[in-house]
Structures are given as structure tokens and as C-alpha cells.
Amino acid sequence: MPDLLDWTDVSDADWNACLARARQHRQAHRSPSAYTDAARGKSLGLVFYNSSLRTRTSMELAAVQLGAHPTVIDVGHGVWGFEWERGVVMDGGKAEHVTEAVGVLARYYDALGVRVFATLTDRLADEQDAHLKTFAAISSVPVINLESAKFHPCQALADAATLTDRFGGNVKGKRLLLTWAPHPKPLPQAVPNSALLMATRLGMDVRLAHPKGAPLGADIVAQAEAYAQQHGASFEIVHDVDAAYDDVDVVYAKAWATPLVYTDYDADETFRQTHANWTVTTDKMARTNDAAFMHCLPVRRGVVVEDAVLDGPCAIHLDQAEYRLHAQKAILEWVWGLRV
């Protein structure tokens, strides 16, 4: 049975099947057929190193609605703190090595989800998604990435389904702007990476906008270019915060840290403060084709985006959040080989 660490590891056929299945689950939402026994007898361990509202609740519900039994494991909160490094003498505060912890959990559960964000201090580890890969290498049961240093595949499938529904089943030819946004804290790049790869894989015409100095990884950009080429779609990177909005059908906003965060934390903070004009505003949205506004949540009102945009008719961020439930049911079915 497969892991879901990142959709780039997954065939087009399986990606498209999961997308279609998520949309079927959406149609059954709040009806008796939303509850199936497809996964009765299965168990799901959800390991969180970082906070979550949507992922933990929607994943628990997804498992329950399929008849499976979920458990949430909050590392460091009623659960031993884990040591990640191999070969260390564990005479500090961490009581358990991840080797034993994951090894044990894999004896109990039929799949494990894990959320482990970027360190934002160890650039190499973050670029290699080292913690997620260590976890997956230890586990003998499928591992689902609940957001790692580099990817958020559950969010990506939910976003793909939200967009596909929004445009009546076919997003090809639609233009999506993925824009950097300000934030009081440095944030990882998992969501923008996954959003960029999702939109280009769907064959949308994609514009990535960020201030000079806040790039996404070269490997992510190269993969996005490859997807765009595969679909005969366009992909461009722009740095004009206003013109970026011209003629787009979707605006997807997300804050992310600059590479400065690894070498000079204060410089990254200054960069974010200097680019406060990248907030999504009604004036900027007025330049679009009446675009839908997307954000993965949680969102900082008045910093990332003006209240009037979030509270206006173009905002579909709650649709995205709702789709997490349906997408994750499709993902659980896929990793357990139940259908799709």
C-alpha cells in the first residue's frame, strides 16, 4: 500500500482518480451515504508535531465516516517528546527516539498521518523534507503527509477539487495567481509549493507573484514548468504586486519565509515588514476577472488579506476547508486500496 508524501510521487491516473473520488464524496456530504463501512476495522494514527484545526478535525471525521478508528497523538503534550537524530546519547529532555515511537505505532495502526513542519533553521533538512522521510522510512504501514517542510498534499487535493467544482469540471484555460503575502511570522513553503504544483498539474495558466528575494525552491519551480509544458499551459513568475492581478480568474494568497530566515532571522522579518503592500485588497481584486479568492487557512485578517475580500462573494476559503474532509476520505481509500 502506498504512502502519500507528495502528489509528485503519484501517477496521473491515481491523482485524477482521487480527485474524482473527492468530488463524489462532496456530493454525498451530509447525506446518509457520506457514511460508509469501507474501512471498518481499520485504524489511523495521526501524529501532530505542530498545531492544526482543519487537518486534525477533518482527518478524524474522514476516518470515522469511512468506519475506521482514528487516534490523535500530540507529540510533547501527554506524549513523550521524540528525538530525531541517529546516534545521539539521549541524556537530555527527549524520552523516546522516533525509531521506537513510529515502530510501535506502526504495530498498532493500519496507516499513520504525520504533521511535521519545516524547521526554518536547518535549510538542508527542510529542502530534503528530512523529518517526513525519516518517519516514512521507519513506518511499516502507509504514511500520509499532513503537512511537512515541503508539501501539504491533503490541502492540494482539496484545493484541486474546489477549483474543479468552481469551474464546472474543467479548469483548463483558467488563470490562477499564486501570490506571496505579508505575515508577522516566517512561515514554511509547503502550501505554496503544493498549490503551485496542483494548479499547474490541473493545466491552469499559472502566475506566481512574489517580491524579489522571496522565491520558491528551484526544484518546485522546475516541476511546475514541467507540468505546465505537459498540459500546454502557461507559467510565469512576476514581481509587480498590482499588475499580477490583471485578468486572473483565481487569486490564491499565502505567506512564506524568504531564504534569509536560515541565515539572518531579523532580515527576514524586515523583508516581510518592508513588503506590507502585498496584502490582498479589494483594489487589487478589482483588476481581476471577478476572481475567486483562496487561502488554506488559518489566515491573518488585515495582514494577508483585507476583511472585505474574505467577507465578500468571491471568497471560497471555506469551500476549500470543507473539501479537506472529502479529499481525505478519497486519500484514505487510496492508501488502503479500498477503491479509486
Is the peptide bond between 298 and the residue preceding it cis, with omega within 30 degrees of 0? yes
Q: Which stretch binds ligand CP (CB under 6 A): 128-136, 170-178, 239-247, 291-299?
A: 291-299
Is residue 55 at the binding interface for ligand CP, with CB under 6 A as the rule? yes
Shortest gap between Cβ of 148 and ligand CP (angstroms)?
A: 12
Q: Contacting ligand CP (CB under 6 A), which of 54, 131, 175, 326? A: 54
Angle, helices 12-27 vs 153-166, to 10°: value is: 70
Binding mask of the shown chain, residues 102 to 141, with x at each position contacting ligand CP by CB under 6 A: ----------------------------------------
How far is the CA of 41 from the CAs of 22, 67, 104, 108, in angstroms?
22, 7, 19, 12
Binding mask of the shown chain, residues 13 to 42, with x at each position contacting ligand CP by CB under 6 A: ------------------------------
In whole angstroms, give the CA distance from residue 76 to residue 116: 13
**CB-wise, 18 or 294, nearer to ligand CP?**
294
Is residue 297 at the binding interface for ligand CP, with CB under 6 A as the rule? yes
Cell representation of residue 186: 516566517
**CB-wise, 191 or 241, nearer to ligand CP?**
191
Number of residues that bind ligand CP (CB under 6 A): 9
**CB-wise, 97 or 324, nearer to ligand CP?**
324
Q: Contacting ligand CP (CB under 6 A), which of 199, 296, 332, 335? A: 296
Shortest gap between Cβ of 40 and ligand CP (angstroms)?
A: 26
Shortest gap between Cβ of 77 and ligand CP (angstroms)?
A: 16
- Assess contact for 198 and 7: CB atoms under 8 A: yes
Shortest gap between Cβ of 5 and ligand CP (angstroms)?
A: 16
- Assess contact for 315 and 288: CB atoms under 8 A: no
How far is the CA of 67 from the CAs of 35, 176, 314, in angstroms?
7, 37, 35
Shortest gap between Cβ of 295 and ligand CP (angstroms)?
A: 9
Shortest gap between Cβ of 59 and ligand CP (angstroms)?
A: 9
Q: Which stretch binds ligand CP (CB under 6 A): 34-42, 50-58, 212-220, 268-276?
A: 50-58
Cell representation of residue 142: 502507509
Is residue 52 at the binding interface for ligand CP, with CB under 6 A as the rule? yes
Task: Give the position of cell 528525538.
Answer: 83
Q: Contacting ligand CP (CB under 6 A), which of 9, 12, 40, 53? A: 53
In whole angstroms, give the CA distance from residue 178 to residue 162: 15
Q: Which stretch binds ligand CP (CB under 6 A): 67-75, 80-88, 234-242, 290-298?
A: 290-298
Polymer length of the chain:
340
User: Which residue spans within the chain are E strands per DSSP?
Assistant: 43-48, 69-74, 82-83, 96-97, 111-115, 143-145, 175-180, 205-209, 235-238, 250-254, 292-294
Shortest gap between Cβ of 155 and ligand CP (angstroms)?
A: 5
**CB-wise, 188 or 203, nearer to ligand CP?**
188
The beta-carbon contacts of 234-239 under 8 Å, at least 24 apart in sequence, are 234/205, 234/206, 235/200, 235/205, 235/206, 235/207, 235/208, 236/206, 236/207, 236/208, 237/207, 237/208, 237/209, 237/210, 238/207, 238/208, 238/209, 239/209, 239/210, 239/211, 239/212
Q: Contacting ligand CP (CB under 6 A), which of 65, 145, 148, 155? A: 155
Contacting residues toward ligand CP, per CB under 6 A: 52-55, 147, 155, 296-298
